[in-house]
């Protein structure tokens, strides 16, 4: 499965894709800005995966190409982590850039996530 989501008509700078690997891992990749305008798009893409039946064994949230992460994006990440935990879905986050790592560290949220520098490292970890 490979779906792309985006809304160029609104001028929203967020591109999303969803891919399922052969080992029951779903990758939701985001590129662009995650802010109060684009959070609903990311929420919809991720929660489509989290609410699927059957649920995947693992979700990798690939944010490597995110250029801005607002407090709304941080709040969504907390919601994603809580839902994944409640549904027994392993969650990995690709956040290998200062744009992502810095707000996660400053807010103390970095310790809540399994963070990886790149997608291959996240996929290799179990």
Instruction: Report pLDDT digits (tens) over 98-118.
Output: 999 999 999 999 999 999 999
pTM flag (> 0.75):
yes
- Residue 99: CB partners within 8 Å, gap ≥ 6? 66, 67, 68, 69
Asked if the model's pLDDT at residue 11 lies above 70, the reply is: no
CA distances from 10 to 7, 34, 38, 45 (A): 6, 15, 10, 18
Angle between helices 71-86 and 39-50 (to 10 degrees): 10
Residue range(s) defining the domain that contains residue 114: 2-124
Asked if the model's pLDDT at residue 94 lies above 50, the reply is: yes
Task: Map the chain to HEC letters.
Answer: CEEEECCHHHCCCEEEEEEECCCCEEEEEEEEEECCCCHHHHHHHHHHHHCCCCCCCEEEEEEEEEEEECHHHHHHHHHHHHHHHHCCCEEEEECCCHHHHHHHHHCCHHHHCEEECCHHHHHHCC
What CATH number corresponds to the domain at position 83? 3.30.750.24
**Count of structural domains within the chain:** 1
The pLDDT value given to residue 16: 97
The mean pLDDT value for 52-72 works out to: 95
The pLDDT value given to residue 22: 85
Asked if the model's pLDDT at residue 51 lies above 60, the reply is: yes
Model confidence pLDDT, tens digit, residues 65-90: 999 999 999 999 999 999 999 999 99
The pLDDT value given to residue 12: 62
Burial of 17 (0-12, 13-18, 19+ CB in 10 A): middle
Model confidence pLDDT, tens digit, residues 15-25: 999 999 988 99
């Amino acid at each position: 499965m490979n779906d792309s989501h985006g809304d160029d008509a609104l001028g929203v700078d967020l591109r999303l894709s969803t891919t399922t690997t052969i080992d029951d891992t779903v990758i939701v990749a985001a590129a662009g800005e995650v802010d109060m305008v684009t959070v609903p798009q990311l929420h919809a893409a991720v929660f489509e995966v989290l609410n699927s039946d059957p649920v995947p064994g693992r979700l990798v949230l690939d944010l490597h190409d995110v250029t801005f992460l607002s407090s709304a994006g941080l709040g969504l990440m907390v919601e994603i982590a809580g839902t994944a935990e409640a549904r027994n879905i392993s969650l990995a986050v690709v956040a290998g850039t200062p744009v992502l790592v810095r707000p996660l560290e400053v807010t103390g949220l970095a310790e809540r996530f399994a963070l990886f520098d790149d997608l291959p490292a996240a996929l290799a970890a179990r």
